[in-house]
Amino acid sequence: MNAQDVLDMSINIALVLLSLAFLLTIFRIVKGPTLPDRILGLDMLVGAAIGYIAVIGVKTGYTLYVDIAIALGLVGFLATVAFARFILVRGQADEGGTEDGHEMDPDKVIDQKMGELGTKLRSSDNEKQGS
């Protein structure tokens, strides 16, 4: 078993591992549950794609795709920055909690909503009395 055989085998193993990584990341993107999770998944997908391109470059010797990997990294970075701006501008975070219900305590949510409602009612009362 010479070094070339070892390289071929490890390339195959790496491609399998990368495909698994792709699938798990896509599962996270589909599942969410929040917008930053999905954006993070897309960012991770770009990283995995760059790794895939590098492995394909070693396997086939076709290294033209490395240029595309650099461009993909740039586009992924700009997309993440733009999405971060979008989160900041959109300014709403009430799309539920994480999986396993770690932060979705229904009592807490109800308390919070009732508190907001109370302050709203009180402030509108104050406005009525003022006018």
DSSP codes joined into one string, the chain: --HHHHHHHHHHHHHHHHHHHHHHHHHHHHH--SHHHHHHHHHHHHHHHHHHHHHHHHHH--TTHHHHHHHHHHHHHHHHHHHHHHHHHH----S---GGGSS--HHHHHHHHHHHHHHHHHHHHHHHHH-
The correct pick among 3, 127, 128, 131 for binding another protein (CB under 8 A) is 3
Q: Does 102 bind another protein (CB under 8 A)?
A: yes
CB of 75 to another protein, least distance (A): 11
Does position 128 interact with another protein (CB under 8 A)? The reply is no
What residues make contact with another protein under the rule CB under 8 A? Answer: 2-4, 6-7, 9-11, 13-15, 17-18, 20-22, 24-25, 27-28, 34, 36-37, 39-41, 43-44, 47-48, 50-51, 54-55, 57-58, 63, 66-67, 69-70, 73-74, 76-77, 80-81, 83-85, 87-88, 90-93, 97-100, 102-103, 105, 108
